[in-house]
Homo-oligomer: A and B are copies of this chain.
Amino acid sequence: MKRVYNFNPGPATLPLEVLQEAQAEFLNFDNSGMSIIEISHRSAPYEKVHNQAKADILELMGLGDDYEVLFIQGGASLQFAMIPMNFASKEKPGSYVLSGTFSSNAYKEAKNLGVGEIAASTKDENFRRVPRQDELNINPNAAYLHVCYNNTIYGTEFHYVPEVNVPLFADMSSDMLSRPVDFKKFSLIYAGVQKNLGPAGVVIVVARKSFIEKSPETLPTMLRYDTFYKKNSLYNTPPAFSIYIVGKVAAWIKNCGGLKEMARRNSIKAKLLYDAIDNSNGFYRGHAEKNSRSFMNVTFRLPSEDLEKKFVAEALEKNLSGVKGHRSVGGMRASIYNAMPIEGAEALADFMNQFRKNNSGSDNNADKSTE
């Protein structure tokens, strides 16, 4: 069976064991005589999947009964609107830290509703780092402070939990369940699952129950958090297949040893790639500042765009797929989520070292970027 190392930013690689299990039971789930995609969402076998996934997510995060897990469709992009619609007002605006594309998009939705403010931004530095604690300028009347914990496109990540006097909300789409975080400091965390946790089609929202038990009456049913909370995310038909795979991935993380073990593996992988950058005599130039470097997305440039194209093509020949960066940064981006094996990062680091040696001649290592 052909299998590549998939460094795409999302949808992204998933644990092979999870895929094999899902394949084996695809025609007959839990001896029901139906596929998981045919089974009623009101049936006992599905409810078991749904509730076990919720319980495992809370357990992995070390959260108790005061938190609830919701499954909502529409991607993180719909959360960007639902959050201000549910929580913010002109008197109590949402306060936003701008640390990349998605946090900026989240702010735009709040601003469009007339309820958004900026607490800090590193846009002027092309988002090479996340803002520091001492740069956060938060309206004391803010309904919440919103941060994007890991910035997929720029390859930066928060390495501290902001200390704030308002409720703390985080988009963790690209680093959810990748390492232990003091999740209790957050009132609401959400993640589109297609980066680190499962197939596109569901967002996990983990929130303090006290925050989501009552939404404004004027909101449409499907844009109210309380609809999902009161009905166990089963008001209408949930995206069952995505939730089912997320449940298997959560169980896989538990079996591996939980978030500490994920952090151990992820830091080994990240170190392999950052070392290949740092020891390249400037051939590879990391986009992120060192103290904001992401453990999930490693972004770097090469001496020229021609070499970058060559890098992508030769990597693919070695079954290293999806290393092309986002146009906002250019160059390369290697996404090394939970399911990327350490061997994958080793293979990419080896390739980086070899490629540098093969292409560091005097004709190539000058900066020929046409940007």
A positions within 8 Å CB-CB of B: 1-4, 6, 8-14, 16, 19-20, 22-23, 26-28, 31-35, 37-41, 73-78, 80-81, 85, 105, 108-109, 112-113, 192, 194, 198-202, 218, 220-223, 235-242, 245, 319, 321-322
Contacts and interface: CB of A to CB of B under 8 A. Distances in A.
A32 B4 contact: yes
Given A73-B239, A109-B221, A220-B81, A35 B10 contact: no
Contact of A200 (B6, B28, B198, B239): B239
B19 A78 contact: no
Contacts of A31: 2
A11 B13 CA distance: 27
B240 A199 contact: yes
A10 B194 CA distance: 24
Nearest to A82: B220
B10 A237 contact: yes
Given A14-B35, A81-B220, 12 more contacts: A2-B33, A3-B27, A6-B33, A14-B38, A23-B27, A37-B200, A40-B322, A73-B74, A74-B78, A77-B235, A78-B220, A109-B221
Given A73-B73, A192-B237, A222-B78, A37 B23 contact: no
21 contacts: A2-B31, A6-B33, A10-B40, A19-B27, A26-B26, A73-B73, A73-B78, A74-B74, A74-B78, A75-B222, A75-B237, A77-B235, A77-B236, A78-B220, A80-B220, A80-B222, A81-B221, A105-B221, A194-B237, A199-B241, A239-B242
Contacts of A19: 26-27, 35, 37-38
Contacts of A11: 37-41, 237, 240
Given A12-B38, A200-B41, A223 B81 contact: yes
Contacts of A9: 40
A232 to B, nearest CB: 15
B37 A199 contact: yes
A113 to B, nearest CB: 7
A35 B8 CA distance: 13
B38 A238 contact: no
Given A35-B19, A238-B200, A242-B239, A28 B2 contact: yes
Contacts of A113: 220
